[in-house]
């Protein structure tokens, strides 16, 4: 087997893949670096009062869980953020989530994602 190391700019790639989620069905990732699991959950919602492609993190911040609503991700040509979303800490490094999402209003969503590792976190 060949070992491959990848990076995007200054960030190291932890993992990349795709998942299909449904409207108002959560997509949940559980990442465990051996020092306790981090649960990251996203739920797709539509809201006519919000901008397209808006990410709304839960008000409660916890070190073991990150929850956010992905609002109005309804572009069949895709929606992405300019900057990766910081979601927590993994292996003593800042963990980021980068995505490109294809979907339609009220329909399934195709999420292409990359987990990225940034700078070390000093304790």
Q: What pLDDT digit, counting tens, does each position of 52-73 carry?
A: 999 999 877 778 999 999 999 9
For residue 92, the tally of other CB atoms under 10 A from its CB is 12
In a domain? residue 111: yes
CA gap 36, 100 in Å, rounded:
28
Give the mean model confidence (pLDDT) for residues 6-13. Answer: 93
In a domain? residue 1: no
pLDDT given for residue 63 in this prediction: 82
Instruction: State the pTM of this model.
Output: 0.90
Q: Smallest Cα–Cα separation from 31: which of 17, 46, 20, 43?
A: 17
In a domain? residue 88: yes
In a domain? residue 85: yes
In a domain? residue 31: yes
Tell me if 89 sits within 8 A of 31, measured CB to CB: no
In a domain? residue 3: no
Domain assignment of residue 53, given as a range: 12-118
DSSP 8-state assignment for residue 9? T
54-to-29, 66, 69, 86 alpha-carbon distances in Å: 20, 16, 8, 15
CA gap 77, 81 in Å, rounded:
14
Q: Is the pLDDT of residue 34 over 80?
A: yes
pLDDT given for residue 62 in this prediction: 78
pLDDT given for residue 47 in this prediction: 92
- Split into its structural domains, the chain has a count of 1
Give the mean model confidence (pLDDT) for residues 10-32. Answer: 93
pLDDT given for residue 11 in this prediction: 96
Q: Is the pLDDT of residue 30 over 90?
A: yes
Of the chain, the percentage scoring pLDDT greater than 90 comes to 75
In a domain? residue 123: no
CA gap 110, 87 in Å, rounded:
20
In a domain? residue 2: no
């Amino acid at each position: 087997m060949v070992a491959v190391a990848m990076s995007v700019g200054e960030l190291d790639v932890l993992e990349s893949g795709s998942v299909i989620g449904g409207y108002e069905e959560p997509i949940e990732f559980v990442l465990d670096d051996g020092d306790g699991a981090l649960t990251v959950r996203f739920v797709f919602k539509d809201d006519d009062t919000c901008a397209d492609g808006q990410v709304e993190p839960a008000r409660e911040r916890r070190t073991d869980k990150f929850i956010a609503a992905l609002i109005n991700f309804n572009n069949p040509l895709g929606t992405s953020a300019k900057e990766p979303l910081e979601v927590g800490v993994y292996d003593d490094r800042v963990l980021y989530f980068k995505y490109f999402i294809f979907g339609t209003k009220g329909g399934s969503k195709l999420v292409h994602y990359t987990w990225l590792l940034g700078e070390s976190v000093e304790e």
